Amino acid sequence: MRRYRRFGQSVQFHTAFSICAMIRRMKLATPLLFLAVSALLAGAEKKIVINEGDELYTATFDDTKAPEASMREWVLLSPYVGDPFNSDETFYMAITESPDVEKINKIFYAPPLDQCRKPGCENRPVDSAWLANAEKNLDLGQKQVQRLDAMTLPAVLEPVRSYLLASLRFSLDVQQARFRYIKDGDVQPLRTLFAATCRSSEPGDGSMFANLAAAPQTARPAVSGHGWHNRMIGCRASEGRYPIASWQAFVRDYGLKETKVDSQ
């Protein structure tokens, strides 16, 4: 009986000791748990680097604001990303800069018809292989239109998408009209797009179309890629500018930090 009471007392003592130890461990663990949860909530700072040859663009962001995969898509719309090395996998783009950030401009454009898909085709004459290469560029341009159109974006970036999509579609229309002209010698696709784009004519427009009509097939890529193409770009220039305010709002909302440095 006495032995039993001692055992009971021992059990009670150890039980009480265990409870006290558990409470102490819980007190010690609580700050650690809080720190762990806080760190989880704070997220990890992630970086996205885009190589543009002479320059490196870096975007730094908190991945609790947006998944990294999404942010990799969205930064391609930045007015400060100008010419990625892998344009086939992203987009063909160009920017014009100004000392005043409000006047920065950027466009997306379709791959040119003579963009070589195989080495050594730079000086190839217009033949079936040249046309096949051009068709691949048109196909890629159409896929990039579809990709930009289907991209899931925050609402604040919709004006940016709309502007870049319009420039990309226009550029693809230009290349498609050029392709028909180069292949068949038909000037009408060039005339139709010109009439839809240019609100006024210039004194040299008549001779420009006469030269287009008279050019042999070997000269058609050059003649349609200079005078007529430049006129189209000039007419299109009045269609507005990159919506920089929308991008700046996105940067604020998502805590994005952008830098650009020389890669040399």
Domain boundaries, the chain: 1-42, 45-262
pLDDT of res. 96: 77
CA distance 100 to 127: 46
pLDDT of res. 40: 41
The answer to whether the beta carbons of residues 259 and 226 sit under 8 Å apart is: no
The alpha carbon torsion through 165, 169, 174, 179 (nearest 10 deg) reads 130
> What crossing angle do the helices spanning 128-150 and 158-184 adopt, rounded to 10°?
160
What residues form DSSP beta bridges with 48? Answer: 59
pLDDT of res. 97: 66
For the whole model, what pTM was predicted? 0.80
Read off the pLDDT band of 179 (50, 70, 90). very high
Tokens standing for residue 58: 């870096």
CA distance 49 to 47: 6
The answer to whether the beta carbons of residues 137 and 175 sit under 8 Å apart is: yes
More confident residue, 53 or 176: 176
DSSP-derived letter for residue 240 is: -
CA distance 92 to 86: 9
pLDDT in tens, 188-234: 999 999 999 998 889 999 999 999 999 999 999 999 999 999 999 99
- pLDDT of 24 higher than 80: no
The answer to whether the beta carbons of residues 114 and 135 sit under 8 Å apart is: no
- pLDDT of 145 higher than 80: yes
What residues form DSSP beta bridges with 58? Answer: 49, 259
Nearest partner of 226 among 178, 186, 191, 192, judged by Cα: 178
Which residue in the block uniquely carries the two structure tokens 């001779």? 207
- pLDDT of 241 higher than 60: yes
Per the document, the length of the chain is 264
> What crossing angle do the helices spanning 188-197 and 205-214 adopt, rounded to 10°?
160
DSSP 168-232: HHHHHHHHHHHHHHHHH---HHHHHHHHHH-SS--TTHHHHHHHHHH--GGGHHHHIIIIIHHHH
CA distance 186 to 162: 31
Helix (H) or strand (E) holding 244: helix 244-254
* 234 Cβ contact partners less than 8 Å away, ≥ 6 residues apart: none
Q: Exposed (0-12), middle (13-18) or buried (19+): which is 111, by Cβ within 10 Å?
A: buried
